Structure 1
Amino acid sequence: MSSVVPGIVTLRTYERAWLPKDLVAGLVLTALLVPQGMAYAELAGLPAVTGLYTSILCLIGYAVFGPSRILVLGPDSSLGPMIAATILPLAGAGGDPARAVALASMLAIFVGAFMVLAGTAKLGLIADLLSKPTRIGYMNGLALTILVGQLPKLFGFSVDADSLIPELVGFIDGVATGETVVPALAVGFAGLVIILVLQRWLPKVPAVLAAVVLSIAAASALALGERGVDLIGMLPQGFPAFTLPQVSAADLALLAAGAFGIALVSLTDTISTASAFAARSGQEIRANQEMIGIGAANIAAGFFQGFPVSTSGSRTAVAEQSGAKSQLTGLVGGAAIAVILLFLPGLLQNLPQPTLAAVVIAAALSLADIAGTVRLWHQRRIEFSISLAAFGGVALLGVLPGIAVAVALSILNVFRRAWWPYQTRLGRVAGLPGYHDVTSYPQAQQLDGLVLYRFDAPLFFANARTFRDEVRRLASTDPRPRWIVVAAEPITDVDTTAADVLEELDALLATAGVVLVFAELKDPVRSKLERYGLARPPAPDRFFPTLEAAVEAFRAQAPGHWSAPPPGS
């Protein structure tokens, strides 16, 4: 039971000395949870107060079922556009807030259900569907999309558009036609500068809290609400009631599709963040239990008018820096938010909307990884191109199609590497034991009549002909080799299509007097070849445990000498 509900383990092993640190860290964390929760709720197209509801319940859910002692979940800037892209088309042109909340809540339940089912089925490897280059491109595209979407709010007006290019055009038109509300721009831009400067130069100071406090003070002192600046206003008082979201059956399929993309991004983000913090504390990552913990957090939020959540590197870092020792930190933060809702609903009523836009823009800037993109350019151009394609998918097609593009690119990249794997000849290099790539060592010596050939991938239907064509090319060189030895250690599988190609290739080579030999073939692969009928007598005479054994067997039949390859071979 304790392995399924890690919160029980935390409760049983909790040390009294941790309590003061968890209490302080929870109160510090609240200063970040409140403004970010409200800002990311509006980013998702929902009332700001739903961000507070979501924060409370997801913290409770993860504290009970999540395996990490320090990870902090909550509304996230990377999920906001995905949530909006899923629910706003379904909410209709009228933009009924109640319907949008119901859709978002059901979306959270779907995300949670996917997570719990996948974690129970031990499918934590789903997080690997997004490679790092595609994730960098996706996040860069997301950062640009969020930035452009929040600019009108920062300038004090709104734009009726739902994709990057129309939003950018609408923003430029709004500025050109004089829609900018100068006081709104001033307070929003000031808040953004405060956040960025403090994060850069005084990281221990809660930058978001400082921006929120100062902007509330400015709004109150200068009566910004009377000067055209939108304010948050009074929050609904009280704790959200348990609610089963009411949505039509026609909406379920689209919600499920959106939930899959959100679950994938949330899981990938959580696993990477959890790995980073676990490495610093010596803990191990339990990917499947993380999925269950995130799932429980989403389900809890969904039943209390919340929306999908993910982990947060910035909030987790704040908790760690503040001395957090356990998930009690998150529970203290959730309790503090509940106190605000129950007894201080007017605390944030003078918070300017442009300040929330500044909070979101600062978060968007942190999502972008320009340095990582530049590194890809220098390290591997093909992965830079993949990252750029993922960026374009998000920026031009939209957030949900963008995640589909990112996943597809990751899968295609894996398939591409297996379809056109690296292949080379091997030779003997003076002073180095073993046999080595002639591309890296052009001076490598070849044994007369023998070709050592390495194919760096499993043999399957997509690349079997590539293997066949290269072996045929090697067999047709002048002088014609007597043996072609395949250094088969990288070949981890052979499917039935490849087996048929091997059988045809072996027969074709035999007519030309060339023998196809395998060395270092793994036992499971050898067993498959036996089932396919390719390793029956006298075939076993052509399977050797090592390259050295194959070379010695060849030399026993045809003594020759080692020589450098001719120029251009």
Structure 2
Amino acid sequence: MAAPSDRADVRPPWWREYAPGVELARSYQRGWLPKDVVAGLVLSALLVPQGMAYAQLAGLPPVTGLYTSILCLLGYAVFGPSKVLVLGPDSSLGPMIAATIAPLALANGDPARAIALASMLAVMVGVVMTVAGLARFGFVADLLSKPTQLGYMNGLALTIVVGQLAKLFGFSVDADGLLAEFGAVVSGLADGKANLTAALLGVGSLAGILLLNRFLPKLPSVLIIVVLASVLVGGFDLTSHDVDTVGVLPQGFPPFTIPDVAWDDLPPLFVGALAIAVVALADTMSTASAFAARRGDRVRGNQEMIGIGAANIAAGFFQGFPVSTSGSRTAVAEQAGSKSQVTGVVGAATITVVLVFATGLMQYVPQPTLGAIVIAAALSLADLAGTRRLWRQRRTEFWLSISALLGVALLGVLPGILIAVGLSILNVFRRAWWPHQAELGRVAGVAGLHDTESYPDADLLPGLVVYRFDAPLIFANARMFGEKVRELAEDDPELRWIIVAAEPITDVDTTASDMLHDLDAWLNERGISLVFAEMKDPVRAKIERYELTRTIDPRHFLPTLDDAVAEYVRQTGATWRGPEQRA
């Protein structure tokens, strides 16, 4: 007898839907493990220095970046739906965290108080995101079209590359923004600020990664280069030549801690949490959509919110701060062969081992090599072939993609995402505002009625125009529809019927209803009937609710175009005429 859990009519526990990591553990393939382990080791080499740097950017002790990285990776591994996304401290959130907690941390800048405030901020962000996910606000993932995704990723790649150039050549710049950073890099190179040893190591690392990826793609190129570069630094004492390295890490692991903050701190923290949640959501949805499109996966927007929420809550209870998805770290994991969130678990375990037992293990990893890793990952984000395809196939979407790219590159990731979303929405609105319109005629040898612009020799019936409007009939395009129909009526003094091929019209709002009322009255005064064919039942129901059938004859709603044309022929006796007969 089959166990109850094996019966087809027994549904899995409800909580499994909200914990994809549990299902992953049940279906995990052994063949993925070597790739996930390698990718996790590679990822940990990047997570450590970035985590520490972004903690400082947020106004917090560097070690909190490591605590945050560990716990958010574990939280997302259980509750996050994506197999490849990597969460962690993020440069776009750092200034927002600092702006939120700095006014509350008192004049003496007490680190313990700053950590408590940042941890409570992370918990609040996590709760906001989790509630949003449970409320099914994941539709935000649908607001980015493929062209805007391409533009976002291309812009992100450009931003990452420029941001890492100074590190690649062994110096630093004090500039904000793509153009300012690029100008500072060029000026630094011209002024001789580059460290020759570091530059050779960085450029060599980048070349090595790209060559291995090109000719030996099955090898873990990034890990190989990191090991070789570390051996070179340690063996030849390159630190004496001013080559920066990760250095010795702080030791220890935080206990579970409930953030201790005053009640008066909660309102300003909550306002900051809302702002950070919006930024993290926009960034994560954009990155998730882009990587899902590359891998052929489906974005589960609501569960993504829950996964981000769980990651933030986990970080907040272990002295961490708010996190988001990282496009560069996700690209590194993907390039290193990641197959699942086990990559993140391996990365978290590696950081834990290093933090507790081997704080000096990564002291020889050179910063220029880390810059090379990020640049190589960024290059894999760009999709120039897809952009060229847009240029060939649809110029408007090409320029939409370029606008998203420029938004990300010139204004920053968050404004760029907002621009991309806004452009996607405007593009949808533009199609509804200025939809395709056509007059239809009969074409010999082709079934149905067709656009007379595509078939200028189509046959027409005298006194009849068959007009198709390819959009919902709403406030934005109602005037256009009315003006076009009036134009058709005025151009043909013998016109008796205008049949609207209504199948593409998926909605009629109240503004359009008023327009149809006035339009039908205007046509009736001229002896012209307004007839609708193939109108969808939900739209016809709205027409009835608007009481339009008091003006438009109910007999002028016909099920098909063929029925409408046949009725016109029956009433008028008209016959089809070709271009030579109409001349």
Shared fold (TM-score, shorter chain, > 0.5): yes
3-state SS of 2:531 partner: strand
Distance 1:485-1:128 versus aligned 2 partners, 3 A rule: same
The answer to whether the Cα contact below 8 Å between 1:212 and 1:351 also exists between their aligned partners in 2 is: yes
Match of 1:359 in 2: 373
2:433 to 397, 419, 431: 419
Where do residues 223-302 of structure 1 align in structure 2 (5 Å cutoff)? 223-242=237-256, 244=259, 250=268, 253=271, 256-271=274-289, 273-274=291-292, 286-302=300-316
Where do residues 57-72 of structure 1 align in structure 2 (5 Å cutoff)? 57-67=71-81, 71-72=83-84
How far the C-alpha of 1:415 sits from its partner, in A, is 0.6
2:535 to 521, 534, 538: 521
* Partner Cα separation in structure 1 for residue 165 and residue 102 of structure 2: 24
Match of 1:170 in 2: 184
Query: 235-244 vs 335-344, which deviates more?
Result: 235-244
The answer to whether the Cα contact below 8 Å between 1:29 and 1:315 also exists between their aligned partners in 2 is: yes
* Partner Cα separation in structure 2 for residue 568 and residue 128 of structure 1: 49
Distance 1:13-1:24 versus aligned 2 partners, 3 A rule: closer
Where do residues 37-436 of structure 1 align in structure 2 (5 Å cutoff)? 37-38=47-48, 40-41=50-51, 44=54, 45=57, 52-67=66-81, 71-75=83-87, 80-84=90-94, 86-87=96-97, 109=123, 112-242=126-256, 244=259, 250=268, 253=271, 256-271=274-289, 273-274=291-292, 286-304=300-318, 305-310=320-325, 312=330, 315=333, 318=336, 330-436=344-450
How far the C-alpha of 1:66 sits from its partner, in A, is 3.3
How far the C-alpha of 1:19 sits from its partner, in A, is 8.4
3-state SS of 2:500 partner: strand
Distance 1:317-1:182 versus aligned 2 partners, 3 A rule: closer
The RMSD of aligned alpha carbons is 3.4
* Partner Cα separation in structure 1 for residue 370 and residue 158 of structure 2: 17
3-state SS of 2:465 partner: strand
Query: 1:339-378 CA distances to partner (integer Å, 9 max, x unpaired)?
Result: 2221111110111112221122222222222112111111
1:482 to 478, 487, 496: 496
Distance 1:303-1:245 versus aligned 2 partners, 3 A rule: farther
Distance 1:302-1:296 versus aligned 2 partners, 3 A rule: same
How far the C-alpha of 1:548 sits from its partner, in A, is 0.9
The answer to whether the Cα contact below 8 Å between 2:128 and 2:274 also exists between their aligned partners in 1 is: no
* AA matched with 1:74: V
* AA matched with 2:281: A
The answer to whether the Cα contact below 8 Å between 2:41 and 2:350 also exists between their aligned partners in 1 is: no
3-state SS of 2:175 partner: coil
Q: Which runs of 5+ in 1 are unaligned?
A: none
How far the C-alpha of 1:56 sits from its partner, in A, is 2.6
How many equivalent residue pairs? 555
Query: 257-266 vs 211-220, which deviates more?
Result: 257-266
Distance 1:391-1:14 versus aligned 2 partners, 3 A rule: closer
Match of 1:33 in 2: 43
Distance 1:438-1:274 versus aligned 2 partners, 3 A rule: same
* AA matched with 2:496: R
How far the C-alpha of 1:248 sits from its partner, in A, is 8.3
How far the C-alpha of 1:156 sits from its partner, in A, is 1.9
* Partner Cα separation in structure 2 for residue 180 and residue 12 of structure 1: 50
Query: 369-378 vs 391-400, which deviates more?
Result: 391-400
3-state SS of 1:446 partner: coil
3-state SS of 2:491 partner: coil
Match of 1:2 in 2: 13
2:508 to 484, 488, 494: 494
The answer to whether the Cα contact below 8 Å between 1:519 and 1:544 also exists between their aligned partners in 2 is: yes
* Partner Cα separation in structure 2 for residue 332 and residue 25 of structure 1: 11
Query: 1:221-260 CA distances to partner (integer Å, 9 max, x unpaired)?
Result: 2222221122211111122344539788657545533431
* Partner Cα separation in structure 2 for residue 92 and residue 183 of structure 1: 39
The answer to whether the Cα contact below 8 Å between 2:43 and 2:332 also exists between their aligned partners in 1 is: no
The answer to whether the Cα contact below 8 Å between 1:426 and 1:437 also exists between their aligned partners in 2 is: yes
TM-score by length of 1: 0.87
Distance 1:3-1:439 versus aligned 2 partners, 3 A rule: farther
How far the C-alpha of 1:319 sits from its partner, in A, is 5.7
The answer to whether the Cα contact below 8 Å between 1:107 and 1:256 also exists between their aligned partners in 2 is: no
Query: 143-152 vs 290-299, which deviates more?
Result: 290-299
Query: 25-34 vs 236-245, which deviates more?
Result: 236-245
How far the C-alpha of 1:290 sits from its partner, in A, is 3.7
* Partner Cα separation in structure 2 for residue 306 and residue 2 of structure 1: 32
1:546 to 560, 567, 574: 560
* Partner Cα separation in structure 1 for residue 200 and residue 23 of structure 2: 51
Distance 1:267-1:10 versus aligned 2 partners, 3 A rule: closer
* Partner Cα separation in structure 2 for residue 287 and residue 557 of structure 1: 55
The answer to whether the Cα contact below 8 Å between 1:489 and 1:520 also exists between their aligned partners in 2 is: yes
How far the C-alpha of 1:470 sits from its partner, in A, is 0.7
Percent of aligned positions that are identical:
51
How far the C-alpha of 1:540 sits from its partner, in A, is 0.8
3-state SS of 1:457 partner: coil
